[in-house]
Homo-oligomer: A and B are copies of this chain.
Amino acid sequence: MKRIADPSVRRLSAYLRFLEDCQARQVPTVSSDELARLAGTTSAQVRKDLSFFGSFGKRGLGYEVPDLIARLRGILGLGRPWHFVIVGAGKIGSALAQYAAFRERGFHVVAVYDTDAAKIGAALDGHRVRDVAQLLEDAPLDHPDIAVITVPAASAQATADLVVRAGIRGILNFAPAPLRVPHGVTVQTVNMATELEVLSSALAHHD
């Protein structure tokens, strides 16, 4: 299957969350209208997003919740657990290491790394912080799929290079720096300041 565009994946992820709520409330079917309202989009967009993966809604009956959950989990790659490492045991790294919602969705922290001798060896939510120099040795044992990079911008590229050498092919980058990676490695960047700028831009032009 072709890689799905980010905005679609984000909507599919939102649909999945609402469908799981429906399942918890034992709601058997949902309409594209309901999904659209919950996800803040249009029912046409919902139908388009879902039809892209084969037409699995029945006109007038809506989507069967358990069926759609199973298909979305498959599309999002959630049919298996994913192992990730966190590189950078600062404030954001520590917060992410303890983020329960990751585990609930099948993302498991296998190790936390840092370069700071003062942090190495410290306990962090059941993980002892390791020296980043160990990553190449550890990776064949821990099999991490994803690295969450929460180091300062200045060391982000060197960290990404190391992570790639360790055979990791997915990077979630919290450092405010662009990362160069070889073909076949996927980088997703989260910039907290950008999130605030989306708001400041909207607020400035609302006035």
Contacts and interface: CB of A to CB of B under 8 A. Distances in A.
Interface string A133-149: 00000000000011000
A175 to B, nearest CB: 10
A169 interface: yes
Interface string A184-207: 101010111111111111111110
A76 B200 contact: yes
A206 B184 contact: yes
A151 B92 CA distance: 16
A9 to B, nearest CB: 5
Interface stretch (A99-107, A113-121, A158-166): A99-107
Interface in A12-63: 12-14, 17-18, 38-40
Copies of the protein in its oligomer: 2
Interface residues of A, number: 64
A170 interface: yes
A94 interface: yes
Given A92-B95, A96-B192, A202 B170 contact: yes
Contacts of A188: 195, 198-199
Nearest to A37: B178
A190 B184 CA distance: 26
A146 B199 contact: yes
A192 B2 CA distance: 24
A171 B199 CA distance: 8
A77 interface: yes
Interface of A: 1-4, 6-7, 9-10, 12-14, 17-18, 38-40, 75-80, 82, 84, 91-92, 94-96, 98-99, 101-102, 104-105, 107, 145-146, 169-172, 176, 178, 184, 186, 188, 190-206
15 contacts: A10-B198, A13-B197, A13-B198, A78-B197, A82-B203, A84-B196, A92-B92, A102-B192, A145-B203, A169-B203, A170-B199, A170-B203, A172-B196, A186-B203, A190-B190
